[in-house]
Structure formats: structure tokens, C-alpha cells
Structure 1
Amino acid sequence: MKINYGANLRWCLLSAVATAIAAPNAFAQSALEEIVVTAQKREESVQDVPIAVSVLSSETIDSAHAIGFEGLQQLIPSVSFRKGNTNRNSTVVVRGIGTISFSTAAEPSVSTVVDGVVLGRSGQAFTDLYDLERLEVLRGPQGTLFGKNASAGVVNMTTKRPTDEFTGSVDVSVFEDNERRVKGRFAGPLSDNARASLTVFDGSFDGYIENTFTGQTTNGYDRSGLRGMLEWDISDSVELLLIAEDYSSEDNCCADLEALPSGRNPSSPAAPNSQGIVNGVADIDFNQRRVDHDLETSTVDDHSAFSVQFEAEVGDYTLTSITATREWDNTEVREGDFTSNAGDAALPVDFSSTFFQLHDLGIQSWDQFSQELRIASPSDQRITWQAGLFYWNIESDRSFRRDASCQVSAANDPILAANPGLTCLANDIVAATAVFDTEFENFSVFGQGSAELTDSLSLIFGLRYTDDEVSFNHRRTNNDPFGRQGVGVRATASNTDFANQTSATNTSGKLGLQWQVNDAGMAYATYSQGYKGPAFNTFYNMAESDTLPIGEETSNSYEIGYKLTADSFFANLALFKTDIEGFQANNFDDSSGVTITRLTNAGDVSTQGLELDFIWQASENWQLSGGLAYVDAVIDRFNCPLDVAPGACTSRNGLDVPFSPDLKYTLSSSYVIPLASMDVIFNGSFVHMDEQVSDLPGNNGTVNPAALLPGYDMFNASVAFSFSEGKYVVTLIGKNLGDESYVTTYSGDNFRYQIPRDAERYFGISFKADF
């Protein structure tokens, strides 16, 4: 089913936002509602928290009609998102800093927390956000309050709690290209001292990319999930919260598109409309929506989670315990040659003139256990503090098989000579399988406090001790009975049997001042240290050189902020500078003549800039909000590969860090027109993203033109009709009304890109009923 809402709907949506942004101040101004966050493990007004934090409320999340975090990041100026073939390979970047790696033995620079539980991989949270109460992005190093330290920031998600009264809701939305989503939520009391809730979700999408080889569409999804909660007031001073979640998805996503000419199949119907690299500039085919793949890239995810949270009042103190387990099973099928296997199979594999096959199958499971124990002092004292213990263990098992064309090389000549009649052609498929496991174990002690020096000046202090251990085992076996080498398949002589472990300890802290300037203004200045534990570069084709440990990543951050609070206006300003040592990054190393990626301590980087966000309740029915981030994230010192030839590695100092646009800003508006029988609600949002690089520079100190992602502007809008005081709401939705196409990721090989669903205009409609 393909829905066409026509010109009238398009005109309505465009007019809606124009009205909302340009609406006259027709009503008396009204006070803003207080925005409550848990950035410091207490419920506080965001304007009282001496941290740069971006907050998306449930209303903002719902009105954005975003499928997942990839859509919501457009509303947070300091955040970028690196889209991979699967959730496993996608990354959050805050202030230009994030970990982009395929390794199973590396932590993210940006930690992700859901209901107080730290997730082992950010990809666990990149699924559907179907039950969020609030999403907070804490910018800069965090560690003296959160269970797991982070060198760049924290994405803190809080889901909706059960209610004291019986409530229920059903939300149905339908978009073009046969995309539909259904959510139901039911909550209420079980007894005088117990409450429960259940949220169920189901969604599917045919996709928006045409596979010319199969005649079908791809890059769609089929997902379902549920989350149940139980709150029990065991006594007047003890409360129990149980959360159970199960989520599964089968996505035929996310295929890399040939947006620059690959030269592999110029006559393909999916060949791009591009001249390639012209005068040092990539002529990217932004309108490319076709692939020619004989294997469909797909992902199957299964998540399950269970947590038990106790909160007890012990005298004047609050004791909190969070015990949690999470499991994540991920299976990825990857088209690795990015063409249909339609070449002349009688020819030897000559990459310059014919096709070859490379197909991957990766199966991975994560099992995670965490225990956090915190004690908090009373909040009405001159000295307030929190202290905690944290234990975290994650075990991962991965099996990865590659089937690829035999590779014409000197290594295969002795095998062919010893076996008369044996060939090494494009249709001679060889394979290898790697089985590897990793384990992380983390223990830490942390605490943070505040001491009032005067009625308006407070001292902020915090300290953390961390003990990390990482280990891995890796065994790769050539499956070919003759031991032949293939494209990405190493010969039998390169079979592996690797194992190693490493450990590290770290002490980091935080120190700052908070000054209540007057009733409307608060200023703060902080110095904080961040830490990310050691790692290994574990992946399918790892070699002996990859078995050495990668040192920890540490950061030193300086931040000055000011928060203005008035009845109808909030504004927050932050100036920051962060220096990172031992930056863990994928280094493109071409010193051997063949480009490979290695996760290394690539060197030292720094990020500095300015952030501004505001909310203005212009009138009783009109609200305007927005944000801006100017970020300069650059390489200060880059480590050359150890095996680089003399003179083959030049200075990369001063070049940009990947996924760090210099400027990103957003503007959102909501305007309500109350009528006799209903309210009409206009919502609009605009985002501007500067150009950004998608990879680190090469050994020669230059950035690949193909890796430069052009900037873009996006405009979304909706008009909602609310009846019976909001019990029934019908919303018309328009995405990317300017129909501006863009790419989110350069995936490699000088032609592969990710082009998201939101890179073209489309429309939808939703219906929500509360009862």
C-alpha cells in the first residue's frame, strides 16, 4: 500500500509550521513547566543541575514521530550518529567524540543507560523508543555518579512508570511505503501498595531501497516488543521496582548503496548517476535508491532484560540497589561484494574487470550482569553527597563465516600445481570461519557531593576508582579442503589460535563551583576527568599484530556554564574544552600497500566549543525551542602505524575528528489553536547539519574526498487534531518537507554510503486514544 496524501495535505503541513513560527503573541504569556531530570541520580530541575544536559521529554519524543535514536539525534545539536550495517556497528558521537569500531572487545566512549542499567554496547539502545518518559544526553566525561565511566558523555533513558489510576492508550501510525506501527499501554494499581504497567509494540516496513536483482524492496523492518513493570511499596520506607523487557526484530537492513562509481558492474541498473571524484570533490548520487545485490543484507536481533531495583529510606539516607541482567543475540547477513554475482565466472578473478563474491554471516550473543549500590544523603543539608559501588560483567561469543571467490595470487600457485584440474576462478568459492569470545569485568567505587560555602556558592567534588579487565580468545580456520586463499579469506597458513588479556586501574575526579547569581541565573565551572577501559582489536581477519592490548582512553574536560530561568524562558549556555589521550579509533593503515583498518590508540585529540539551548513559552499556546552547537574537534597528535615505511606517514595534526560537524542547530515550534470542539496543534522542527568527515585521514595526511559528508537542512512538521481534552488525537505527519537527500555514513571502498529513510520526503498519519 502506498499512501498519497496529495497537495492539500502538503500545503497544510507547510502552513502549519509557518503559522507556528510566525504566530502573533495573541495570548497572555504562561509559565513554563519545570523540566525534571535525574542527571545527578536525584530528581532535580534541569536548570539547577551544573551539567550541560539536553533533555527530550515524552511529549517531544512523541511529536517527533522518530523510529529510534537515529531520528531523535537530529533534535540534539551536540550529538551525531554513525549508522552502520547493523545496530552492532552504529555509534553515538557527543561533542565530536565516539568510538567507531567493529571490535567485540572495545567499549563505547559514550555510555548508554536505561532505567539505571548501563548497557554494554550502545547498539542495544538503538532499537525502537516506544515507552520513553525522558531522554537525557549528558555532555562531557561522566563517572563520579554513573555506574560505568565514560570519556565523552552519557545517554540516559528513563521509561514510563506505572500509574496510581487505571490508564490505557493505543497508538497507531501509518506511513508511505507500507510502514505501520502499533503501540498499546496499560497501567494501574494492583492493590493499595502495588502498581503495574504493560507496553506492547509491533511495527513493520517494506523498505525504501529497490533491489534490482530480486525486484523487491529492502532496508525495511519487522519488529515487536513488550515491557512490563511492577512497583511495590513493601513498607513505608522500602520500594521495589521490577522491569522485564523482550524485544525482537528482523530487519532487511541496512544495505550500503553505490553512490559513487565502483567500476564493478557499470552496466548494472543500480549504477549511480555520478562522475566519481571530480577535481577532488566527490560527486555523490544523493538520489540513489537502488542496489544490485544477490544476497540481501539483513539483521536479526533478540533482546531480553530484567532488573530489580530496591530503594529504602534508612534514617535520613536513601539506599538504592539495581541488579540487572541483559541478553542480546545478533545475527547479521552481509552482502560484501555489493554486486549481483553476474560476471563471467570462467574468468580468473581480476578485480579491475570482473565481479567477485564476498558474503558474510556473523552470529553474536552478549550476556550482561550488573550490580549497582548507592547511598545518598538528605538533600536539604549544606553538604549533600552520594556514593556507590558498581560491578559489571559482559561475555560475548561470536562466530563469523566468510564465503568468497578464490583469489588469484602467488599463495595459491603451489596448491593449484599440486592438484591438477583444480581452478581458482570467480565461481570457485572458498570460506573461512572465525570463532572468538571476549569478556569484560569492571569494578568501581564512586561518589560525588556538593558543599555550600555561602548561601549562593557551592563546591562540587567527586572521585572514582575503576578496575578493568578484558580478555579474548580467537580461532580462525580456513574451510577450503585445499587451503586456497580467497577475497578476504586467508590461507590455511594464516589460521589463528590467539588469546590475551589485559587489565587497568584508574582514578578520576571532578571539581567545580556552582554560583547562584540571582533568582534567575545560575553559573558553574567544572573540571572533570573521563576514562574508557583498555581494549583489543578482535575481528574476523585479525592478525598477530592485533593481539596486543590497546591502552585506556582518558580525558580532561573544562566547562563553564550559565543557566537562565524565568517564568516563560529557559536558556542554557556552555563553553567547553576536552583533551583526550589515547583516543581509541579505527586507523586506516595503507603502509603495506593494502588498506586495512586497525583499532588503535590513534593519538591525542581535543574538542572545544560553545553550546546554547533555550525554551520560550511565547504565549499560553505557543512554545518555541532550539539549540546550537559549535564544535571544533581536531587531531592534536596522531600515532603512525608501527610498521609504516620511513616517510610514508605525514602529519595529520589539525585535521577533523570523524563525525564532528563544526555547526549544528535546531529550531522547534508548537502552536495550539483551541476551538469549540477540539484543539488544533501545529508542530514543526528544523535542523541544520554542517559537513563532516566520516573517516580519519590516511597515512599521507589527507582526507579521502569520498569520506566528506556534505551538510544538509531538514524540515519536519505535523498538525494534530485533539478531541475530548486530548483523549483522542489524529495527527498528519510530514517528514523532510524540503525533500533534501543526504548521506549519514561513508562505509568504505570509495563508493559505499548509507542513505537513511529520512533522506526523502514522505507522509504519514497517526491515531492515539487514551482511556
Structure 2
Amino acid sequence: MISTKEMCTVAALGLAMSAHAQQAAPDAAPAEAADVNTVVVTAQKREQRLQDVPVSVSVMNAQSLTNAKIDTGTEVARLVPNLRVSTLGDESQPKFSLRGISTSEFNLNAISPTGAFFDEVYIGAQYLGGAQIFDIERVEVLRGPQGTLFGKNTTAGAVNFISKRPRFKEEAEITVGAGTYGYRETKGVVEVPLVEDRLTARLAFTGAHSDGYVKNLNPAGHDLSNIDRKAARLTLAYKDGDGLNGTLRLFGVNSNPDAIGVVNTGMLAGGLNANGKNPRINPFNGQPLGDREVADDRSGEIAVRGTGGYLTLNQSTDLGTVTSITSFLNGRFQNLVDADGTMDPLLHIDFRSRNHEFSQDLRFATAFDGPFQFITGLYHQRDNVDIGTTYTIFGGPPVLPILNQQYLQERRSTALYIDGTYDIDKVWSIYGGVRYTRDEGRLADFRVTPVIPVQPELRYDDRKPTGRLGVDAKLTRSLMLYAHYARGYRSSAFNGGALTNAADLNVAKPEYLNSYEGGVKSQMLDNKLTLNVSAFRYDFRNQQFLNVIGIGNQQLVNAGQSRITGAEIESFLQVNKQLRLSASLGLLDGKYRALTLNSANLSGKRMIEAPRYTGNVGIDYSIPVYAYLLTLHGDASFIGEQYFLATNADNSRVGATRDVSARIALLSPSKKVEVAMYGKNLSDNRNPTGIVLDATSQTKFTPVPYPRRYGIDVTFRY
């Protein structure tokens, strides 16, 4: 259970006022931001006022993201209670944990229980999401199972990134910046109407590069953990006078950072690894290495390539709106890892993946008179993943062979869904929905040369219902109560980590989550104060779990039962036209009720990546300076201790973490030029962002966050 001391700490934090997750005020100047009624979300696939949505949702608009200098998907968790992001690679590979629901699996064919969506399109290849946080209108984080409207693999919830809509008028903006560690960036947007009030084109782009943040003492190598991201998005929008509008978004991603800098420690006596070396000793002078120093025999390379497009069509009628969303995506990923973190070729892993995805969502949302409104639709999604991974252990021959793992995974998902609301009277409403999904999977041509020959095909065919049923009471326009039950599921999965034993190649069964949640959404003090509270209990069954048996021996199993209880408090206070305060608080108590791994009974252990508290506080203050506008922003996030292994072993524990960031901006009288200075990770947090214990090299693999850093950027608007 959560201790009294921790409860007091996080309760005091929560009372500090208002959550960044709720500070979705309009993009205009703070003088226009007092009325938070203008916050609109699409958490239920139609535009609604945030305070009218009976779902636990956190929202960050464009100005919030800019003020907090959020550049990638891995940074979103700074502002959202009970959302954590761990990384075992670079910033293009976020692994979400939402309300304690996560996955221990890191294989390239793995799927997350938290769905990532871009403009309502589900993206399975999550490495393509990290660099696309640019020209964003808002980010919505939906907590709890979203199996009805979002569907695929949203057991924990969904993170929905929504890009800015074209405005059908000329617009241009460019930002150039520089910072410590050789950081430099350029991003911007240009919109040009092609046919007045009919057709427009909007081009947005981003690019950033830095030197490595982790020093590699190998004279022949490169420093690690640098930034290198490049992406662009072309949006074509059309509308006519008969209710038809369409948006075509085409994107490309091309990033080439060096490998992540990993602080490895030996797990044998005296901190030694399987080669009898201490990875934390400088091999060139025998002195201890610093916190952000390594001596690696390979610098590695991460390559992210992606292209794709989303076509959204809407046709309004007297009865409602017909929407069609079609998407396609092609991606390629490579990560060359020095997994042992030394000058010896003890364990090198070359991860390679090719992804092809397609989806089609066709739905109808009613808009007729009457107490009953609903959304119904058909959905289809398919993805093909071609995996090729090379393992070089103890330098390869003649000690051990080089292992080349290859396979092709195909998945198909088809669903029929309906979700609706019935207004009993002016106060009470009931809402609910059901989705019936068929998920099919095929694993073909699996082999590990030279130890596992080509294996027979594996298949699964899941046919499962998910849904929700709830009630809400709108006591006033400023006060709503809600309670609901929801059921989520994640489809079966193949063990993509089988390496030395063909018997490890299996299909894990689907996992299920029953959620019971209640909440209050309220506004007070003439709507200047927003205070939203939610509480929940989860019963989690058959969680898919990676079980590492020993050297080269990984199993994908179903992990019995878990129980999670928790709550979120989100608040936002617009003190006056100049001052805005914010705070959020997340509480979790997640434990395994039935879990056995490697013959060890782990019942009662805390769940992985489930800190007992998360919280943040923030402040935004604007003040006129002659004809200029000076804006000050600061935010701090706090995370309780967490474990990355279900055994709760000390070497998988990460202590309490804090992260502080700040930004100062000066806007010209014409509002066409803005100069900003910022600092990130001002607390110089060095806690690991992920932990893997590798039995082969006998090392603890721990990526570290980017260090304290500063920068300046200048934005020009036309």
C-alpha cells in the first residue's frame, strides 16, 4: 500500500494547483486564456467540451507543448499523471506505461498495451512516432481501456497526437535554435491557399542535431546519445459548400543518431561481467568511469526511415457525419547495440525491422434531434513486420557462432463497433458501447542460423468483445459526476525473442483488463479554477510477460493476475490575465496477485514501471514590458521509486526522480518575432530510463537520460 508519508507528500503536491495536462487554453495570449470552457477534445471521436467527457483525459495544446519545450513523444510523460515513458533505445522509441499497465517485452515485433495514434490512425511501428511532435494542435492522453472507439491494443489507454489543421490562409513560421552540446534545430510551417476557401497546402518540418551527451573514451569511436531527427509533413485540405471536407497528410521521417549511451555494470562479484571485466573501469587508465562516460568498442548507429499518409474525408448530412480515414505506412528501423558496454566484443546485437501498415476506419456519427446519439463504424488494420536480428556473443567464432534470427509476422484486425449516449433528463445520462474484434496473426519463416532451422508457421485467431457502460450526472454546467465499467483486451502475441531453443517459440494468449472508475469534473471561481478527480480499480488477467530463463533463453508467458488501484487529481487555476498555475497528482498501488517466473512465486510484488506517485507543478506568467510581452514558464515533475523487474530485486530499482525545466520568452510588439531561452533537466536527473539484466554478458543494461542542457531559439512569423 501507499505509505502515509508518500500520501502526504503527493497530496501537498496536488494542492499546489492545476495540471499541465489540463492547461489546454487557446493558443492566443494569456489575456484570452481565462475561459477554459473553450478546451475541445475528440476523446470520443467527436468534438466535445473537455469537462463534458466522462473519461479521464489529459490535454496539452500547442502553447503548452511550446512552453514546456516538448520535442518528442518521450517527453509527454513530464506533464501527465500516471503516465510513464521508458526507453531502451533513443528518443524515437518510447515505451509507455499508463496507470501501471506496461509490457516487459522489448522485441521488435512487440505491441504496447497503450495505443499510439496520430490523427486518429493507430501506429504499430512506434519508432516512427518519436520525431513527429511538430506542428501539433494538441496531445490527448486517455487513461483506462479504450476498447470501444479506439480499439486495437488500448488495454491501458491511448495517446493521441493531433496535428494542426490548415487555416485556408497564408501563413509562415520558422524557428531556429542552438544550445549546449552543439545542439541546433530548425523547424517551421508554410501554408499557401491553392484555391480560395476551397483548397490549401500546409508544409511543416523539423530537424535537430547535437553532439553526443555520453562520452565514449574509445579514441576510434564516437560519443553516444546524440540527437538526430528529421521529419516533414505535407497537408492538403479541401472543403466545399455542401458539407464535404477532406484532409490528406503525407509524412516522411529520416533520423540517424548514434547509439544510445548505456551505463553497464557487471552482475558478478566485484562488479565483473562474463568476461571478468568491470564495465565501469576505464580500460585505458584503470580509473572509475564517470556517470556519463563509457568505453565502447562500437559506436553503433540508429537509422529510422518512414513514409506514409492519412486521408480523412467527412461528409455532413442532416442526420450526422460520415467519416472515412485511410492510412498507409512504410518504415525501416536499425539499431546497432553494444549491449555489454565495454571494449570487448562480448555482446553485440544488430536489430533490424521493416514495417508495412494499412488501416481503414469508416464510421457514422449522429447529429439529429433527440436524447440518443451514437457513433458506429467498421475498422480494418493490417501490418507486416519483417525482422532480422544478429547476435554476436563472445566475439563470435571460434567461441560461439554468430546467430542470425529472421522471421515474418503478419497481423490482421477487423472490428465492428457502436458507442452511444442517452440523455435520461437534463441531468442524468447513460453511455456505453461494444466492439467486436477479430485479430489474426501469422508467424512464418522463423529461423535462427545456425541453431534453429526453419520452424512451422504459428497462427492465432482471437474473436473478442470489448466495451463500456457508464452513467454521468451533469449537476450544473460546471460540475459533472461519472462512473463506468470498461473492458479492454490485447491480442495474442508471438515470442519474437526465441533464440537458442525452438521450444521457446510460442503464442502468448490475450490479456484482459476489467476497469471500474469514477470521477468528478468541476470548475469554480467563474471557471478560473478547474479541478478534476478520478479513482479506479483494475483487475488484470493473463498479462503478457517476458520471462528470461538464462543465456539465450527467453519465453513469452501469461502472468496470472494483478490488481491496481489508484487516482488522479488534475487542476488548473487562471489567477488573472497574467498568472496561470498548474499541478497534477497520480497515485498507484499495483501488485501481482498471481505470478510465477522461473519457479519463483512473485505474488504480492509491485508491478513493473508503476511508481506509487507521479506529479507535476507548473507556472506560466506573462507581463508587458513596454510594448513587448515577457512570458515565464517553469515546470517540475516528481516520480516515486519504481522497479523494472517483477522480482523487485534491488538491481532493478530506480529511486525517486525529479525533473525541472524552464523557459523565458520575449514577444515583439508586432507578434512576429519571439526570442526564447530554455533549460531542460535543470535538476540534472541521472536515474536510468530503463533496465535490462542480461544473463549472457552478466551485465545490467541501463540507458540514462539526457543531461542538464540549455538553449535559445528565435521564431519568425509572417
Return the TM-score normalized by structure 2.
0.89
CA contact (8 A) 1:722 1:730 kept: yes
CA distance in 1, matches of 2:51, 2:433: 20
Q: Structure 1 residues 109, 202: CA separation in 2 closer, same or farther (over 3 Å shift)?
A: same
Pairing 1:98–2:102 present: yes
2:383 to 376, 387, 394: 394
1:465 to 417, 436, 453: 436
Q: Residue in 2 aligned with 1:671? A: 621
Pairing 1:72–2:76 present: yes
CA deviation after TM superposition for structure 1 residue 290, in Å:
1.1
Amino acid across the alignment from 2:160 = N
Q: Residue in 2 aligned with 1:579? A: 539
CA contact (8 A) 2:672 2:716 kept: yes
Q: Structure 1 residues 498, 252: CA separation in 2 closer, same or farther (over 3 Å shift)?
A: farther
Q: Residue in 1 aligned with 2:125? A: 121
Q: Structure 1 residues 128, 324: CA separation in 2 closer, same or farther (over 3 Å shift)?
A: closer
Pairing 1:325–2:328 present: yes
CA distance in 1, matches of 2:414, 2:53: 27
CA contact (8 A) 2:347 2:395 kept: no
Pairing 1:291–2:294 present: yes
Per-residue CA deviations over 1:275-302 (Å, capped at 9, x if unaligned) read 9xxxxxxxxx995111111111321000
CA contact (8 A) 1:286 1:743 kept: no
Question: Is the partner of 1:497 in helix, strand or coil?
Answer: coil
Question: Is the partner of 2:145 in helix, strand or coil?
Answer: coil
CA deviation after TM superposition for structure 1 residue 437, in Å:
0.6
CA distance in 2, matches of 1:633, 1:708: 15
Q: Structure 1 residues 28, 117: CA separation in 2 closer, same or farther (over 3 Å shift)?
A: closer
Amino acid across the alignment from 2:474 = Q
CA deviation after TM superposition for structure 1 residue 562, in Å:
0.3
CA deviation after TM superposition for structure 1 residue 80, in Å:
0.6
1:650-661 aligned within 5 A: 650-661=600-611
Q: Structure 1 residues 105, 272: CA separation in 2 closer, same or farther (over 3 Å shift)?
A: same
Amino acid across the alignment from 2:333 = N
Q: Structure 1 residues 248, 633: CA separation in 2 closer, same or farther (over 3 Å shift)?
A: same
CA contact (8 A) 2:154 2:488 kept: yes
Q: Residue in 1 aligned with 2:8? A: none
Aligned-residue RMSD, C-alpha? 2.6
Larger mean CA deviation between 430-439 and 537-546 belongs to 537-546
CA distance in 1, matches of 2:149, 2:671: 38
CA distance in 2, matches of 1:28, 1:267: 55
CA distance in 1, matches of 2:37, 2:670: 19
Amino acid across the alignment from 2:493 = A
CA contact (8 A) 2:571 2:583 kept: yes
Q: Residue in 2 aligned with 1:529? A: 487
Q: Residue in 2 aligned with 1:766? A: 713
Return the TM-score normalized by structure 1.
0.84
CA deviation after TM superposition for structure 1 residue 235, in Å:
4.5
Q: Residue in 2 aligned with 1:403? A: 392
CA deviation after TM superposition for structure 1 residue 268, in Å:
6.7
Per-residue CA deviations over 1:29-71 (Å, capped at 9, x if unaligned) read 9433621111011111111100001111111111111331222
Q: Residue in 1 aligned with 2:650? A: 705
1:735-754 aligned within 5 A: 735-749=680-694, 750-754=699-703
CA contact (8 A) 1:286 1:741 kept: no
Pairing 1:216–2:222 present: yes
Q: Residue in 2 aligned with 1:344? A: none
% identical equivalent positions: 24
Question: Is the partner of 1:517 in helix, strand or coil?
Answer: strand
Q: Residue in 2 aligned with 1:756? A: 705
Pairing 1:312–2:315 present: yes
Q: Structure 1 residues 244, 549: CA separation in 2 closer, same or farther (over 3 Å shift)?
A: same
Question: Is the partner of 1:751 in helix, strand or coil?
Answer: strand
Q: Structure 1 residues 88, 498: CA separation in 2 closer, same or farther (over 3 Å shift)?
A: farther
Pairing 1:245–2:202 present: no
Larger radius of gyration: 1
1:531-550 aligned within 5 A: 531-539=489-497, 541=499, 543-550=501-508
Q: Identify unmatched segments of 5+ residues in structure 2.
A: 1-15, 21-30
Q: Structure 1 residues 667, 725: CA separation in 2 closer, same or farther (over 3 Å shift)?
A: farther
Q: Residue in 1 aligned with 2:522? A: 564
Pairing 1:690–2:640 present: yes
Q: Structure 1 residues 301, 76: CA separation in 2 closer, same or farther (over 3 Å shift)?
A: same
Q: Residue in 1 aligned with 2:6? A: none
Question: Is the partner of 1:218 in helix, strand or coil?
Answer: coil
2:356 to 335, 358, 367: 367
CA distance in 1, matches of 2:130, 2:584: 23
Q: Structure 1 residues 456, 242: CA separation in 2 closer, same or farther (over 3 Å shift)?
A: same
Pairing 1:203–2:203 present: no
CA distance in 2, matches of 1:379, 1:258: 61
Pairing 1:618–2:575 present: yes
CA distance in 1, matches of 2:179, 2:429: 51
Per-residue CA deviations over 1:612-635 (Å, capped at 9, x if unaligned) read 001100111100111100011111
Q: Structure 1 residues 286, 678: CA separation in 2 closer, same or farther (over 3 Å shift)?
A: farther
Q: Structure 1 residues 28, 222: CA separation in 2 closer, same or farther (over 3 Å shift)?
A: closer
CA deviation after TM superposition for structure 1 residue 639, in Å:
3.9
CA contact (8 A) 2:320 2:368 kept: no
Q: How many residues align?
A: 677
Amino acid across the alignment from 1:767 = V
Question: Is the partner of 1:745 in helix, strand or coil?
Answer: coil
Q: Residue in 1 aligned with 2:549? A: 589
CA deviation after TM superposition for structure 1 residue 156, in Å:
0.7
CA deviation after TM superposition for structure 1 residue 498, in Å:
3.9
CA deviation after TM superposition for structure 1 residue 271, in Å:
7.6
CA deviation after TM superposition for structure 1 residue 460, in Å:
0.6
Q: Identify unmatched segments of 5+ residues in structure 1.
A: 1-16, 22-26, 276-284, 342-355, 408-422, 479-491, 642-648, 698-702
CA deviation after TM superposition for structure 1 residue 317, in Å:
1.5
Amino acid across the alignment from 1:556 = N
Pairing 1:170–2:174 present: yes
CA deviation after TM superposition for structure 1 residue 207, in Å:
1.3
Per-residue CA deviations over 1:544-565 (Å, capped at 9, x if unaligned) read 2233321101111010000002
CA contact (8 A) 1:538 1:546 kept: no
